[in-house]
Structure formats: structure tokens, C-alpha cells
Amino acid sequence: MSVKVRFAPSPTGYLHAGNVRTAIVTWLFARSQDGHFLLRIDDTDTERSKPEYEEDIESAMMWLGMDWDEKTRQRDRTDRYNELIEKLKTDGRLYACYETPEELSLKRKTLLGRGKPPIYDRAALELTDEQKTAYKAEGRSPHWRFKLNHEPIEWDDLVRGEVRFNGADLSDPVLIRETGLPLYHLCSVIDDMDYDMTHVVRGEDHVSNTATHIQMFEALGAPVPTFVHLPMISDTEGGKLSKRLGSMSARDFRDNEKLEPMSIVSLLSRLGSADPIMPFTSIKPLVDEFDISKFSKGAPKFDMEELLRLNSKIIHQTPFEDVNVRLAHMDMEELDEDFWHAIRPNLGKLEDIKEWWDVVSGNVEPIIEDPDFAAQAAELLPPEPWNENTWKEWTEKVKETTGRKGKDLFMPLRQALTGMDHGPELGALLPLLGAEKVRQRLTKHKQAA
């Protein structure tokens, strides 16, 4: 039986780092098994779900290089859900409850106050027909709970190993709201059944949901998929992923941080796995080497510094043909392959190249405080061809001749060549500028005078 998996985000916000990780691991699992990958939009929450978030999910997936074989939306499947709701009602697995949220919260508090777990007491099962009629007359509409069997629930999780629950320790989950709207648990199980999911990969925040879902699969007469619960990502101190990172979205990585998609894929595909985290410039080797059994259940740490390091290493390996279109969109269409190769090792992010490009190709206004020194330095320029050692060779000579050193030597040269007192490394810049431009900039003051 070939692998069929899904990634099931709710379109209630931008796709965040935790979900991106679930998507990548699920996608790699599918692709490494020649399996089928379904993108399922869990939009049962009609108030919070928005088309712009659904678009964001799709564009983030495409940016990260993840395609899907099929897509479905829960809101398009209402008829199917209703059909199976009728079956579960007939079978006595769904029961009507009339408690208000306030009444439920009071019950919970009372139980907790007595040191007991806040498990729903099933009072609704005892309601007589008269009581139900009275509630309806009051204008109350029922919500519906799934009646769990009070028996052991066990599964062999591909990451967590043997997991055990008992139905008696869990509240009967609410599957249908007062409004008649079926909720996530029910829709998810019906979809997993109808789309023949062989595996369900998701965050460990769903572990106890899984226990109830297993009984729902059984109640619907469906095979139970294999579960894979990935641990939640923590921050570098081992705490919950901090607010800033927790809310960090693929869109932030792309539009604000301006990171390479492969740096995110490289990090999140292996975070928490025994495989080493390395910079990958393409997703293919990650597919080839992917092994779900290498993931462990300890919470892995997300380190922004590590992501930035991967990003720069990826840029350093990126061939010109993979960036030239992007550079053109950044108004650097004349930037050629030689420039790319010379500057690439100095970049942390692709956009850093702009500063280098402006210095080399732009109309730089040299800053020259000591025109004689600048002119003297111009005289000492080594003959072309220039390479990455030319800067050292030249400044050694200038040092010997003028007796200047350290900041007094380097700052005036930087200011003359770049018009700035900080910026790109001059050793790499010099050969790109070439003797003519360098001489012009050093002697600009003299010519103007």
C-alpha cells in the first residue's frame, strides 16, 4: 500500500514556523516514499478562516518548493459530514448536550477544585425527553458529543513509540456546535477516512485528540491510520518558542528577513532528527536521505542564528543562474557572473549584494580629507590584472611609503573608494572596481580643484 499523507493547516493566520515544519516533514515523508501528498484546508472555523490566509499557505508552500498532488477544503464537504453525522447519531455515538459555556466552565472549576481531572460528567446522557423539550423551549440548541468507549486506546506512534490512553480519562469531545457546524475532530477523521490516509503526521499538541480520533475511525468502520506526532519546537533556552519566533511566519522569513527558502527547508526538515543539519541548495538530497524513524520525541531547539548561518552558506554555494532573475528584479540586471562569484562569499543574505553593487556601479561621491595622501596612494596602485590579494599588496606599499597604519591608513582609502566610512570588504571590492575607477576616485578631489 503506498503512502498517502496530508498537511492540514487552518487558514486562520499566516503559515507559522511550527506548521512549516510539519508541512516539510510530511512532504518529505510522502516524496521519499513515492507517496501522495494532499493539501487539506481545515476551514471549519468559518469566522476565523480567511481566503487571504489560504492564499498565504499556498504561496508559502510553493516558495519553499513543496507541491501537492491534490487539494481539498473542508467547507466544500458539508454534505458528506452530515451524512456520517446521521449514522453516528443512529448508532448512539453522538449525544445532544444543552449546557451553556458558563455551566461547563463551572463544572470544570468544581472538579479542579476537588483535585479531580476536568472530565465531562456526561450529565446530558441522563436527560429525560421532557428536560430536553424544556431546554429547546428555552431556546437552547444542543451541541453534540461523541460518546467514547471507556476502554484502553493504544497506538504505535512512529515518533513516540507505544502510546496508551484510556477512554475513561478523556472528555467526550464535542463534534457539532450549537449552530449545527461540525468541528475539526469529526471533519478531520472523515477526511482522513475518505481520502485513504495511511499516515497522519502532525504536532504533538494533537496526541490526546488522536486517542479520541481512533475511536471515531472505529465507529465509522474505517481503518486507523498510522500516527506520527512531531514534538513542538522550543527556543534556544528550551522554553516554549518565544513569542517572536512562535509567531514567525513563512511570509516573515520571505518578505521581512529575506531568507533563502532552502535555508528554512534545510533547518526545519532535520530539526529533531538524528540526521545532521546542513545547508542544502536543493530539496532533492533531502528527499533521498529522509527517514522518519530518525526523529525523536525530545523538543528540538530553534535557533535563529543557525538559520542565518545556513542562509549565508547556501548563498555561498548558489550558482549565478539560480539568482540572476532575482537580481534583475532587484534592479541589478547588469550584475554579471564574475561579480557574483567575487561577492558571494561575503553575503549573509542575498539583499546584502545591493550595497556592493551600488559601490561598484553607482555614482559614488568620494570623501577625501587629505588629497595628498589620496594622490600618493593612487601613485602606488599595483599594475593590473588585479585579484583578491591586490588590496593587501597595495596597502602594504602605502603603509611603507606614508608611514600611516591602522585606521589612519584604511579609513581614508575606504572613504575615497566608497564614499562611506563602513561597508563591504575592500579586498573583494578592489578587483571589481578596477584600476581606472579606483584612480579616478582617489584623485577626484585633485581633478576638481
Name which of 197 and 264 has its Cβ closer to ligand GLU: 197
The sheet that has 143-146: what strands, in order across it? 94-97, 143-146, 174-176
Which one, 191 or 260, has the nearer CB to ligand GLU?
A: 191
214: number of Cβ within 10 Å = 20
Task: Out of 4, 9, 97, 261, point to the residue binding ligand GLU (CB under 6 A).
Answer: 9
Q: Does 10 bind ligand GLU (CB under 6 A)?
A: yes
Tell me the C-alpha distance between 89 and 83, whole Å. Answer: 10
- Alpha helices (H) in 114-247, listed in sequence order: 129-137, 184-194, 207-219, 243-246
Cell 542575498 found at: 350
Specify whether the CB–CB gap between 212 and 148 falls below 8 A: yes
Pattern 190-229, ligand GLU, x by CB under 6 A: ------------x---x-----------------------
Q: How far is the CB of 129 from ligand GLU (least distance, A)?
A: 36
Does position 147 interact with ligand GLU (CB under 6 A)? The reply is no
d(CA 46, CA 315): 41
Q: Does 182 bind ligand GLU (CB under 6 A)?
A: no
Question: Would you state the cell numbers that stand for residue 67, as one nine-digit string?
Answer: 507541491
Q: Check residue 42 for interaction with ligand GLU (CB under 6 A).
A: yes
Sole window of 5-13, 165-173, 307-315, 330-338 interacting with ligand GLU (rule: CB under 6 A): 5-13
Q: In whole angstroms, how close is the CB of 27 to ligand GLU at the nearest point?
A: 13
Q: Applying CB under 6 A, which part among 4-12, 222-230, 243-251, 400-408 lies near ligand GLU?
A: 4-12
CA distance 28 to 283: 9
Q: Would you count residue 173 as binding ligand GLU (CB under 6 A)? A: no
What is the distance between the alpha carbons of residues 343 and 192, in angstroms, rounded to a whole number?
50
Rounded CA separation 87/221 (Å):
11
**Containing H/E element for 411?**
helix 406-418
Q: Is 31 in the site for ligand GLU (CB under 6 A)?
A: no
The rounded radius of gyration (Å) of the Cα atoms in the chain is 31
**Residue 8 in the binding site for ligand GLU (CB under 6 A):** yes
- Per-residue x/- track, 230-269, ligand GLU (CB under 6 A): ----------------------------------------
- Quick one: which segment of 6-14, 57-65, 97-105, 381-389 binds ligand GLU (CB under 6 A)? 6-14
Number of H helices, E strands in the chain: 19, 10
Determine which residue in the list 72, 188, 273, 443 makes contact with ligand GLU, applying CB under 6 A: 188
CB atoms within 10 A of CB 106: 12
Residues that bind ligand GLU (CB under 6 A): 8-10, 42, 188, 202, 206
